[in-house]
Structure 1
Amino acid sequence: MSEQQGRGTATTLAPMVEVEDVWRSFGSGPTAVHALRGVSFAVGRGELTALRGRSGSGKTTLLNLVGGLDAPTSGRITLDGADLAALDEAGRLALRRDRIGFVFQSFGLIPILSAAENVGVPMRLRKVPAEQRDERVAALLNLVGLAEHTQQRPTEMSGGQQQRVAIARALANEPALIIADEPTGQLDSETGRSVMELLREVVRSEGVTVLVATHDPQLMELADRVVELRDGHIVE
C-alpha cells in the first residue's frame, strides 16, 4: 500500500496512526465529490511518513481527518490509541491541543508576536507556568537553530526562519504527532530541504511521529516511508 524508502525500521512498532477504509465525500447523489475512496494505511511511532500526490489527490483532506479537524463519511481513524469517532468536540479539541502539532505551508505565525512569544502560545493555552514555559521555548528555538532570533517578529525573518519557528511551536506541548501540510511549499529548494532535514532531526531528538504532505520528490528521500495518493486512492 505504500512505497518503502531506505530506513523503514519504524514500521515494526505499534502504529501511531491507523486509517481504515476511510471515505470522505462532499455533497450527495450524482453530484457528490469523493475526495477519499477507501483509504487504508498506518504510520508507525517515531516514523517520518511522506504523503505524496498531485494537487486534488486528497492529501489535505486526509491530513484534516487524521488531525481531527474533519470527520470521515465512513471508515475509522485511530490516533495514539484514540478512536477519533468516539470523541466529542471537546475530546477532539483536547487531542489537537495536547497530542498533535500542526505545521502549515503559510507558517501561521502571529505577526505582532516575537519568535519566542509565538512558540509559547500553545503552552499559555495550557497554562504552563512561566518559568517552565520560558525554558521550553528557549530549548525549542535552540533545537531549530534560532537561539539568536528569539525577539524577532515574523516580518523580520526569512521564510525558512518563519517555518522553523512554526516547527518549534508545533513541538511546544510535546505532541505525539506532527502533521505538516506542504511545509516547504513557499520556500526555495535549498531552504525547503533544510526544513525537511530539521523535521528528520525532530523525529530523532524528540521521539515524535511526523506525517508530512509534499509533492516534491527531492524531499521524499528524507522520509522513512512514502505513501502515494492518487484521485483519492492509495496507490499500490
Structure 2
Amino acid sequence: MSGEPLVVVEGLRKVYRTGPEEVVALREVSFEAYPGELIAVRGRSGSGKTTLLNQVGGLDRPDAGRVVVAGQEVTALPEDALLALRRDVIGFVFQSFGLIPVLSAAENVGVPMRLARTPVEEREKRVRTLLALVGLDKHANQRPYELSGGQRQRVAIARSLANRPRLLVADEPTGQLDSQTGRQIMELLRALVRSEGVTALVATHDPNLITLADRVLEISDGTLREAALQES
C-alpha cells in the first residue's frame, strides 16, 4: 500500500515461563498496518493472537523485537508515555465489553474523555455523536444490564473511539455474541474504519467474519503469515 504505515512490527518474540517450562507465544513476528485498514488476526485459541494484540497495544512488552505506532516506539516507551499513548492514540475493544455497570451508556462512552479532562460541553457532544454513530442514540440513559449483548458491544466500540484514536485493537469482539449479531458488529467496525479513518486490528476465530477484513494475518504456534481472503 502507498503512504506510511501506522503500525510497524519487527521481529517480536515473547516467551512465557512456568517453572522450568517455556512456551514461545510469538516467534519473530513482523508486519505493517496502514491507515484505513481493517486487518483480521486469525488463529486458534492459544495461538498467540491476544499476546500479539497486547504487544501492539502497549499492554505488555516483548522479549525481543519492536512495535512502532504512529511514529512512537511502543516497546521503548516509559510507563507514563505508554499510558498517554493508550489514552490518546489507541482504542481497545474486548470480548467481555468491560463496561462499568453503574454508569449509563452515555456515561460509559464519556469515561475516556473524563480521564483526558475533555471540557464538559465538548465531551457531551462527542458522546452524542458516537452513540448515534453506533445506532444507540435512543439508549443513552440505559445501563449495561438493560442492553443486549450486541448493544453493550456497540457501547464499548463507541467508548473506544471517544478520544479519536488512530489505532483500534479489538480482541475477539464478537466472542460472546451470536453469529448474526457478531457479523453486525464486524460490519460496524469496518464502517467505522472507513468513516473515522482509523486502522483496526481485530482478533477473531470466526471464519464467517474474515471476509469483512481488508487483510488476514494467520497466527499458529506464535508464527505469523499473511493468508488469502476467503470468498464470501
TM-score by length of 1: 0.93
CA distance in 1, matches of 2:20, 2:10: 25
Pick from 156, 165, 173: which aligns with 1:166?
156
Conserved in 1, the CA contact under 8 Å of 2:105 and 2:155? yes
Structure 2 vs 1, CA of residues 114 and 28 (structure 1 numbering), >3 Å: closer, same or farther?
closer
Pick from 203, 210, 214: which aligns with 1:224?
214
Percent sequence identity is: 65
CA distance in 1, matches of 2:40, 2:121: 36
- Are residues 1:214 and 2:204 paired? yes
Structure 1 residue runs of 4 or more that deviate by more than 6 Å after TM superposition: none
Residue pairs, 1:92-131, within 5 angstroms: 92-131=82-121
Q: Residue 8 of structure 2: SS of its match in structure 1?
A: strand
Q: Residue 234 of structure 1: SS of its match in structure 2?
A: strand
Deviations 1:39-65 (A, max 9, x none): 111111110000000001000000000
Structure 2 vs 1, CA of residues 154 and 28 (structure 1 numbering), >3 Å: closer, same or farther?
closer
Deviations 1:64-83 (A, max 9, x none): 00000100000111111111
Q: Residue 166 of structure 1: SS of its match in structure 2?
A: helix
CA distance in 1, matches of 2:105, 2:171: 21
Q: Residue 71 of structure 1: SS of its match in structure 2?
A: coil
C-alpha deviation, 1:28, in angstroms: 8.0
CA distance in 2, matches of 1:13, 1:212: 22
Deviations 1:165-189 (A, max 9, x none): 0000000000010100000000000
In the alignment, which residue of structure 1 is the partner of 2:74? 84
Q: Residue 20 of structure 1: SS of its match in structure 2?
A: strand
- Name which structure has the greater RCO, CA cutoff 8 Å, separation 6+: 1
In the alignment, which residue of structure 2 is the partner of 1:6? none
In the alignment, which residue of structure 2 is the partner of 1:148? 138
- Residue identity opposite 2:205 in structure 1: H
Deviations 1:96-134 (A, max 9, x none): 011011000000000000000000000000111111000
List alignment gaps of at least 5 residues for structure 1.
Answer: 1-10
Pick from 37, 45, 48: which aligns with 1:58?
48
Deviations 1:191-218 (A, max 9, x none): 0000000001101111111100001111
CA distance in 1, matches of 2:174, 2:75: 31
CA distance in 2, matches of 1:227, 1:207: 20
TM-score by length of 2: 0.95
CA distance in 1, matches of 2:18, 2:128: 50
Pick from 103, 115, 136: which aligns with 2:126?
136
Q: Residue 156 of structure 2: SS of its match in structure 1?
A: helix
Conserved in 1, the CA contact under 8 Å of 2:91 and 2:169? yes
